[in-house]
Structure 1
């Protein structure tokens, strides 16, 4: 490209720029020559945050009264403070006033839409229209000494109730420990060390709070929250909490007052179910910044608090109001009403939940209680547990370490997991065998003593059972005496293909349709086909590779009260009765199993006879599952199961309870669970 061509291109670019500048100048001059257009241009500058441009449109008298700096500060603080955007100006038709423009303003703000009519004085000055400014141009009611304030209206988080309206998670109070620096003793170091020891804090952490810039000698400095003293409780934890607060109040300058907070009245008894809330993290806030959260929000971290977060979390409201110099409210400019979180009412019976926890709190256990006719889940308990309130007031490092290093794993939710069911699976296998015609319930499979193997191909492996009995080795007796050998033989008669197909039809390998995530049950590892005869035989009495979720097991047992259909468990009272799997078992087979399970309780030889009640008919099945590293292992532990239900009860008062307890070896096996279950059943009925 030669030099002449380059000059031509440069000249052309300059010409375009000058032409555009001329057009822009002409537009501005046109705007300034029209009262309506200058008002629109003035208001458009707000959106662009061009406050200096707005100031240039004022008349000389206005500029003499207010400096550019004061003008910019006033407008910027108000418009940006309320989040003004999408400002639209509509000139009112039929203007009657001379030197004034009447218009309507509509704008978006942090409190929603704001609408108001207004009027601006516009007159010519040196051939151009200029605006006479006063504070009323921002809002008609705004005076020069008035202030605009944005006030948040905090929404309440929804409350979680049990079936009777008792609070499981809701608004309450905690003990707020504070310190007034000016009232501390001369031996400040000793006081801080004592206080830190009681609060499980480092003295330096308390010092840091006291050294904040806003702190003054007579101001109360928040230090830590503690649970409220429960005078009705004699638990070690509650007594220690009371002692700590008593000792704290002996330290000069320490105060303990009430502070509103999320609380969990049942504490450990519902922790795995309800979960807890904590302050929102930076990552959580980033992903929810458009959902009404801020840096002060709390958010559900586990359990139902997390599951129902969207429903429980409310939307804060906001008011934009004008206040006069005396602090009195003059006018409300805009308002977005707060929207409290949704209250949720569960099917949980808190008394039953608490009783189960108290009964098994020293064990590693889990319990599921549901109404087999309606599917309402009345209790979900995992022991040992933790206290949800500890997370709300602030979990200390010491307490967190204790929970995580506890060999009994209190943070572990056992009812969500899968376990070896042992003999608790036998009614399911029996229903499958009878329903498919593979098993004659009256057929005698023969007595084989306390150990048996099909033939020498099994090598040294034998199926063992605990009880010998007279009479035929039929289904009824096999359930009453919990005969492992009978069900091993029954599984071989049913066959691997039929057994696995029917177990899959009964929900094995499927996601359990429930609010909380539950681990799906399995009949073999990775749901692989059962090809080994020994594995098939062991599966018949709930061993082998069979693992079952307690809630799934409860749903399968519900089929014995529902003509073979498995109830769909649910947690909210608004949910309607529905089946998870209709006709999971043959109806006649299900009725037969129910009758046999009644005899497991009523027959003096039945393994569940210890739970018999004098006035209430019960049906059920025990189970003792061996947990060992190999078939030859003799040092393993045992799980104890008891599944029990009320067959003659109506939909309103029916109950089905499934409980599993770990480490029952040498403690009575499943009999340990049977006796404890009886106490609970007696109180319930």
Structure 2
């Protein structure tokens, strides 16, 4: 019996020992766990799995912190770590307390993809209680093999050259050329240092605090060149700056805007990337100190102009050549050519002199946009390299609203809309080109239900047909015809001309509107809308595009901005029949040639213009008798290769739209 009990006890002990052996963690399970933490970038958990010898050699800041910093700096993504299962020989080795596993690491970084192979070594250790486990013998080679024996890793970048913007004739609108980096040498200030700083700050349009901050930098020595601001070589303050003892210049390359104010709202400018822009950008897309498009074409085409920086991840060790982990070549920005004619842009802008307004010029056959002007403008060369808060406030609070882009906005079109109203009436049968109606007096109202409100025309005459109504710009004629056709027909016709929808153009332009609600809810508003008053608003570019229907057999041409866009795209097809187009074209010519035409002052022998004037009253109420006026003139020459839509604000005391007619006439003469 005792022998039986002894045998049973031995069997039970063997079973217990076997069970203990089965419960012990294997090296493969441990490396699998380590790799899992690695894929999750849980570096603290990885550190807990390192051997005591590894942790003693590499404290947490050399393991966890270093992993985190390197992975963050390199913007590591799509990390994939895997291991190779052990073969029979490795299993035998694990019985001796050591094990090794080939591991493969792949990742995407800001510098490009990186992959490597490494050998993970594990050692079996027992604690004081006799419990055994496997620990990783870690060294920096696990981060990157090149770091195994020491060294530092760094990210080196090469800035791309920003693409340039050219006009249709390859004249630069935004170009890279030599500029001056203006700075000071501290030891040259002399006794009147504060006064000199104030003069420099004023001439550079920066704050004195900016100068003090630059001079207080730790690296600055008495004979150091301390940069303050970059300016183009055309800066008008250079002579005054160079006359100051501490001021020194160094040549560098920077952004220059040759057309200055004339193209400022169109081209825009670049500036230092802000913290908010860095946060919104993709990782590695920009760095502190980079320049980014702030408005205009510089902003619109930013993704194409900026290029892509070259990136190189390198390991450096003292006394050794650098080792490149991965490298991506720099990609310079794209040069962009637009349909704008810089000469025409400048000519139109200068025609405004000290007035405000907006103008658009297009080729009426192709739709190429040849000018987009907002007056007044600002100096993009000044804003590109930073200005003081005081100067910015000055620009923002200027009574002429220097920073407001008027060509992207909409305004009441006034009588410049009448050819479109006429086309709508001719198409729906409300207007018969051979019919004249009797109109008496300078004012008219449908009936007493209109109260004190009356439609007023600038000159008397009767009977009036559509041609005469366009020549003399007769508000009463169009008001009566609008009431005859009704609001639904007028709205439908205007919608065919592109009202109430997004304007199809590369540069964001506000859509034109019939009214605030899109509806016409009263007879008075219907009358006003017919001649471009009421709540109607239209952009200068849309106005130009609408007139192309009269030069293309009734098809409205879609405006284009880039030279690579297809020409002569139809935006709105057959908005008016070819038969009725002839009526409108004939009338637009007579607006200029007829002695009683509102644009007769533009009648020239050498340039035969056709067009339509418009005066938009900016009434605050229906009975406002002292409202300011905006003047319009839309015109094209006999060659039909240029169409200009120009609006000048506040012309009531300048002769109304006649002021604009004279400006447009001068533009055609100067440009030709």
TM-score range, shorter chain: 0.7 to 0.9
Q: Determine the C-alpha separation between the residues in 2 that align with 1:499 and 1:30.
A: 79
User: Could you tell me which residue of structure 1 aligns to residue 526 of structure 2?
Assistant: 536
1:350 Cα deviation from its structure 2 partner: 1.3
Listed as ranges, the matches of 1:518-557 within 5 Å are: 518-532=509-523, 534-557=524-547
Assess, with a 3 A threshold, how the Cα gap between structure 1 residues 422 and 200 changes in structure 2: closer, same or farther. Answer: closer
- Within 1, Cα distance between the matches of 2:603 and 2:349? 22
SS in structure 2 of the partner of residue 270 of structure 1: helix
Q: 1:474 & 1:667 partners in 2: Cα distance?
A: 30
CA RMSD of aligned residues (A): 4.2
Give the number of equivalent residue pairs. 639
1:27 and 2:26 matched: yes
Secondary structure of residue in 1 paired with 2:647: strand
- Which residue of the partner structure matches residue 430 of structure 1? 422
Separation (CA, whole Å) in 1 of partners of 2:412 and 2:123:
89
CA distance in 2, matches of 1:141, 1:68: 20
Q: What is the TM-score normalised by the length of structure 1?
A: 0.80
Q: Does 1:334 align with 2:326?
A: yes
Aligned to 1:645: 636
Measured against aligned partners, the alpha-carbon deviations of 1:499-523 in whole angstroms (never above 9, x if no partner) come to: 2221223222222222333333333
Shift of 1:553: 1.6
Assess if the C-alpha contact under 8 Å between 1:519 and 1:549 holds in 2.
yes
Contact 2:180 2:249 in 1 (8 A): yes
The answer as to 2:557 corresponding to 1:567 is yes
SS across alignment from 1:273: helix
What does 1:482-631 correspond to in 2, within 5 Å?
Answer: 482-532=473-523, 534-576=524-566, 577-631=568-622
The Cα shift of 1:212 comes to 2.8
Post-superposition offset of 1:357: 1.0
- Corresponding residue to 1:443 among 421, 424, 435: 435
Question: 2:517 is paired with a residue of what secondary structure?
Answer: helix
Flag the 1:450–1:25 CA change in 2: closer, same or farther, 3 A.
same
Contact 1:439 1:493 survives alignment (8 Å) = no
| Alignment counterpart, residue 269 of structure 2, candidates 258, 264, 276 | 276
What's 2:185 paired with? Answer: 180
1:319 aligns with 2:341: no
**3-state SS in 1 of match to 2:340:** coil
What displacement does 1:372 show? 1.9
For the 8 Å contact 2:268–2:294, the answer to whether it is kept is yes
User: Structure 1 residue 292 and structure 2 residue 285: aligned?
Assistant: yes
- 1:401 is matched with which residue: 378, 383, 393? 393
Change (3 A) 1:226 1:604: farther
CA drift at 1:443 = 0.9
Aligned to 2:457: 465
Partners of 1:31 and 1:407 lie apart in 2 by 73
Cα displacement (A) at 1:382 = 0.7
Matched, 1:669 2:625: no
Deviates more, 1:351-360 or 1:638-647: 638-647
Aligned residues of 1:52 and 1:68 also touching (Cα < 8 A): no
Offset, 1:405: 2.2
The farther-off stretch of 460-469 and 624-633 is 460-469
Partner of 1:263: 256
What CA deviation, in whole Å up to 9, does each residue of 1:635-683 have, x standing for no partner?
A: 222211100124554xxxx221100011212322212111221222124
Task: Tell me which residue corresponds to 1:233.
Answer: none
Which digits, 9 at most, give the CA deviation of each residue in 1:231-288, with x for residues without a partner? xxxxxxx53x2344234xx233x32223443332222112212223333333332232
CA contact (8 A) 2:35 2:82 kept: yes
Q: TM-score, normalised by structure 2?
A: 0.82
Alignment of 1:355-370 (within 5 A): 355-370=347-362
2-structure distance, mates of 1:618, 1:44: 73
Matching of residue 372 in structure 1 with residue 364 in structure 2: yes
Q: Is the 8 A contact 1:448 1:485 kept in 2?
A: no
Query: Shift in Å at residue 560 of structure 1?
Result: 0.6
Matched, 1:412 2:399: no
**Partner deviation per Cα, 1:46-93 (whole Å, 9 max, x = no partner):** 97375686675779xxx9xx8879986997687776566735466699
Give the Cα–Cα distance (whole angstroms) in 1 for the partners of residues 196 and 394 of structure 2: 27
Q: Given the alignment, which residue of 216, 221, 241 partners 1:211? A: 216
Indicate the residue corresponding to 1:636 in structure 2. 627
Distance 2:23 2:282 in 1: 39
Structure 1, unmatched stretches of 5+, are 1-18, 231-237
Deviations 1:595-634 (A, max 9, x none): 2212222334322233234344432111122223334333
Q: How far apart, in 1, do the equivalents of 2:72 and 2:560 lie? A: 48
1:114 aligns with 2:106: no
The corresponding residue for 1:48 is 43
CA distance in 2, matches of 1:494, 1:82: 68
Partner Cα distance (2:421, 2:444) in 1: 19
Whether the 8 Å CA contact 2:153–2:316 is kept in 1: the answer is yes
- Give the conservation status (yes or no) of the 8 Å contact 1:157–1:313: yes
Residues 150, 629 of structure 1: CA spacing in aligned structure 2 closer, same or farther, 3 A cutoff?
Answer: closer
TM-fit CA distance, 1:28: 4.1
Give the aligned partner of residue 238 of structure 2: 242
After TM superposition, the structure 1 stretch with the greater mean CA deviation from structure 2, 174-183 or 347-356, is 174-183
Equivalent in the alignment of 2:5: none
C-alpha distance in 1 between matches for 2:135 and 2:411: 82
1:58–1:130 Cα contact (<8 Å) kept: no
Query: Residues 346-367 of structure 1, C-alpha deviation per residue, up to 9 Å, x if partnerless?
Result: 2111111111111114111110
